[in-house]
Amino acid sequence: MNTPIGILDSGIGGLSVLTEINSVLPEEKIIYFGDTANLPYGNKTPAQIQKFVFDILKFFKQKKVKAVVMACNTSSALVLDKARPCFDFPIIGVIEPAVREALKVIRTSQVALFANAATIESGVYDKIMKKYSDNKISVVGKACPYFVSFVESGIFSGAEVDRVVKRYLSAFDNVNADTLILGCTHYPFLEPAIKKADAGRFKLINPAHATALELADILKDKNLENRSGLTPDYKFYVTAQPEKFTETASQLLNKKIDQAYLINPRFSLQEA
């Protein structure tokens, strides 16, 4: 089926998921939507986040997507279950794939979680971890407000990044955990800095690959795979600062992104 897959995020973090989807499903067309005018979602109310996400999903419906990946932990935590009954295409989150991936390697009674405050306060990681581990493993979360700012600014290393990473990791000094879930799709771009600071203590879980595999399974089960043989194309849409987005996205994807279409932040659903 030669119709696109939609990927949504509050900014560029979902590009970590796009990279994995491209690796697993290289023939698929993709529409990427970064809600950069409302970035970050982590400090918004649940009602605001639901409004933003539903508007993006309506945009995707207009674009006739065959599936959507919520490449955003906050929207996966707060909106996924509400959205699924309202749209006629599969919607996939990033949290359950991350938990299942973590459970393959955890050998301790606790798991560490880097996420934003809204995701942690939702309790969704605790709920899903208990579902799959029979209450045997608890989640200890640490909010990381500076990580998104670093990534959106194209800053992935340096003294300031190292200082902040070490401070956030210190929250787990007395935690019995050997595994750390990167509970925001922005965070994998800081994985080298996190590995440098934690000195091998944690196995890091990037949910992007597991999410891409789950998407592949769903497309196969529903007979939605692209078998056209045509070269796929990617389109990018943002709600603010398209030039900044294309510059940083080109850096992260290691390929030139020529254009990101600017969408009215009130989602007029019209291309600029």
Q: Which positions are annotated as active-site residues?
A: 72, 184
Residue type, 211: T
CA–CA–CA angle 235, 236, 242 (5° rounding): 140
The answer to whether residues 186 and 147 touch, using CB atoms and an 8 Å cutoff, is yes
> Do 99 and 130 contact (CB within 8 A), yes or no?
no
Q: How far apart are CA 226 and CA 110, in angstroms?
A: 41
Dihedral Cα 51, 218, 71, 154, nearest 10 deg:
-150
> From the CB of residue 50, how many other CB atoms can be counted at a distance below 10 Å?
16
**Distance from the first to the final alpha carbon of the chain:** 28
CA distance linking residue 1 with residue 234, whole number of Å: 16
What is the DSSP code string of 81-149? HHHGGG-SS-EE-SHHHHHHHHHTT--SSEEEEEE-HHHHHHTHHHHHHHHHHTT--EEEEEE-HHHHH
**What is the radius of gyration, based on Cα positions, of the chain?**
18
Q: What whole-number distance in Å separates Cα of residue 241 and Cα of residue 61?
A: 24
